[in-house]
Structure 1
Amino acid sequence: MNILQVFSLMCVVVFYFIYFSKQYLLRKKGIKSNQIAKNTVHNKEFFIEFLMKIATFLVVIVEVVSIVFNIYREIPLFFRFIGVIFSIFGVCLFAISVWQMRDNWRAGLARNDKRELVQTGVYTMSRNPAFLGFDLVYIGILFSFFNLILLFFTIFPIVMLHLQILQEERYLVEIFGEEYVKYQKKVGRYFGRKSVFSDV
């Protein structure tokens, strides 16, 4: 196994270790953080969350197979290293995001939970840094081990995560009202202050 494989595999392992550790720590406090496709009231919400769950599960399998068996089309080594950098940055961003959310972090729409709107730290530069972390890891692995099957299973979860973001934004406007609307006007969906960058 070469260094690219080792670093890429470590990124996947560490990413999901953070994800499941956060859920475990919140569960110990009596908080059910995994709300994906569990508390939705509309068929469309359930459908999006259910598909997102499938997509984010399948992509891990395809990523691990691509990494372990070093499956990739001929691409410059430079792009493969850039992919590892993307993945490492995605893991770090995700870790910071869930840490700064403290007990407010949830996966899926948590309609019955009381939470605070976090607008500090990385959330001053992105409304969805944890989702951005997912995307960067997926794109990084794709850059490092590009193949057509991995391309499909990278696009699929990225699209589903984006639809989930749109769904969550509507929910957050319902919950936090004008406070969230003002936040939307200040900070980009994925990255940037609105005074400098347009919404992405």
Structure 2
Amino acid sequence: MSLLKELGLEEYVFQIMALAVLAIFYGAYLVKMAAQAMRGIRTNQVANRRGETHAVEMVMSIATVAVIIVQLASIALDWNWNAESFRIAGFVIGLVGCVFFIAAELGLGDSWRAGVPKEDDTQFVEDGIYGWSRNPAFLGFDLQYIGVCLMFLNALTIAFSIFAIVMLHLQILHEENYLSQRFGRAYLDYQGRVMRYFGRR
């Protein structure tokens, strides 16, 4: 805080904190995509399949881009209705979301994909963070949305964060259907042991 005060940026502390959360989160996503692209792996496979999955993934994609725009606008305008203590809690929640997301990326290795893959031969992973959450990357998204929403609480961040979280949940349902078909009994047993968002049975 003293450095920010010396630089005359003390009044922008929450903007800087929120931008740091977004930079870590989306930076990790872009680095993973670039690393996989160098190995000839197409990470982004959103809306790669026809039918209901295609529709859900298209709307989810729109929701996740729209929420970034709303987050950045709220940060730029410092549009916030929340008390400082809630804003600090939001920063911590956002950082926890980054941790879950990065752990999910690392845990899946080259099997990481955005969207339901059409033909890729991915591996079934059930250890590491996946031993505690069937969907740690989606949990990371949700925590990041909640965290930034608490830091810049206003009507738009609330509405778009809820919209994105609902669409990510629908995406989870489609991915779980795909995984149960792709990996059969192994995935069904895994569903019986590990909870959708966090915890073991």
TM-score normalised per structure 2: 0.93
1:19 to 29, 44, 49: 29
Identity of aligned residues (%): 41
* Paired residue secondary structure (2:113): coil
1:31 to 41, 61, 82: 41
Pairing 1:113-152 to 2, within 5 Å after superposition: 113-152=120-159
Say whether residues 1:82 and 2:89 are aligned partners: yes
**How far apart are the structure 2 equivalents of 1:76 and 1:122?**
33
RMSD of aligned Cα (Å): 0.9
Shift of 1:65: 1.1
TM-score normalised per structure 1: 0.93
1:72-101 Cα deviation digits (max 9, x unpaired): 11x221111100000011011111110111
2:50 to 38, 41, 49: 41
Match for 2:21: what amino acid? Answer: C
Structure 1 unaligned blocks of 5 or more: 195-200
Match for 2:71: what amino acid? Answer: E
**How far apart are the structure 2 equivalents of 1:189 and 1:82?**
24
Equivalent in the alignment of 1:50: 58
Structure 2 unaligned blocks of 5 or more: 1-10
* Paired residue secondary structure (2:195): coil
Equivalent in the alignment of 2:195: 188
Shift of 1:5: 1.5
1:152-185 Cα deviation digits (max 9, x unpaired): 1101110000000000000000100000000000
Say whether residues 1:108 and 2:118 are aligned partners: no
Equivalent in the alignment of 2:5: none
Match for 2:196: what amino acid? Answer: R
